[in-house]
Amino acid sequence: MSKNATKLVSPVGTAVYPKLVHPDTAFDDAGVYSCKLHVSQKEYEEFKAKVDPLVDAAYKAECDKQGKEVRKAPSTPIRITADGDFEIFAKQKAKVITRNGETLEFNIPLFDSQVKPISDKPKIGSGSKIRMSMTFNSWFVSSQGWGYTLRLREAQVLELVEYSSGGGGGGFSASDDGYTTTGETFGEVLADDAAEKVSPF
């Protein structure tokens, strides 16, 4: 993650088909971690108001770079679904190959309601109450136009709904009476984490 990347923290929302422990490989062999959150209209508008200035600045910069106004991709990660749900969508590839041929692997650090790292990762399913830490990332492809994604960095599980074996399924603060883990302490995780030293707090 770039040192200048803007970190964003979502409101607490209801997870829809979260892929936070095991990446989805259905459409990408490298695997993709992802989570859709459904939030209230008020929370949606407040979060969108934080992201819109980043969108406007990044889009203007790309237009200046291209020397013309470029078209925008039709899909965005902050959207109102066909069913009228207010949705925030974040994702992160599980594996990336750099231009130098180096393979980088990622996972999604998880924290419980008391901001304690979850080492015994549960089967987090739809209906769980989640808060996500993300970074804003814009992109441009001539055939598709300009767009942006929200890169999923960490997730906080405040209420856990586990899926069955046969089913699918930075800036955090503690929440009383929420889901808690029996795993290691935050300090122990930071001591072991030599690759990523940026805390979500």
Q: Name residue 134's beta-bridge partners.
A: 8, 152
Q: How far out from the chain centre does Cα 197 lie?
A: 18
For residue 34, pLDDT over 60 is answered with yes
Domains of the chain with CATH codes: 7-192 (2.40.50.140)
Mean pLDDT of all residues in 86-99:
92
Q: What is the pTM of this model?
A: 0.78
At residue 162 the predicted structure's pLDDT band, cuts being 50, 70 and 90, is very high
**Alpha carbons 179 and 168: distance in angstroms, whole number:** 21
pLDDT in tens, 105-131: 999 999 999 999 998 889 999 999 999
Output the pLDDT for position 199: 36
190 or 26, which is more confident: 26
Q: Which residue has the tokens 């406007």?
A: 56
Output the pLDDT for position 44: 98
Contact 96/104 with Cβ under 8 angstroms?
A: yes
Give me the amino acid identity at 82.
A
CA angle 107, 111, 113 (to 5 degrees): 155
**Alpha carbons 128 and 18: distance in angstroms, whole number:** 9
Mean pLDDT of all residues in 143-153:
94
**Alpha carbons 114 and 120: distance in angstroms, whole number:** 15
DSSP the chain: --TTPPEEEPPPEEEEEEEEEEEE-SS-TT-EEEEEEEE-HHHHHHHHHHHHHHHHHHHHHHHHHHTSPPPBPS--SEEE-TT--EEEEEEEESEEE-TTS-EEE----EE-TTS-B-SS---B-TT-EEEEEEEEEEEEETTTEEEEEEEEEEEEEEE--BPPTTS--------TTS----S--HHHHHHH--S------
Output the pLDDT for position 146: 96
65 or 4, which is more confident: 65
Q: Name residue 24's beta-bridge partners.
A: 32
For residue 167, pLDDT over 80 is answered with no
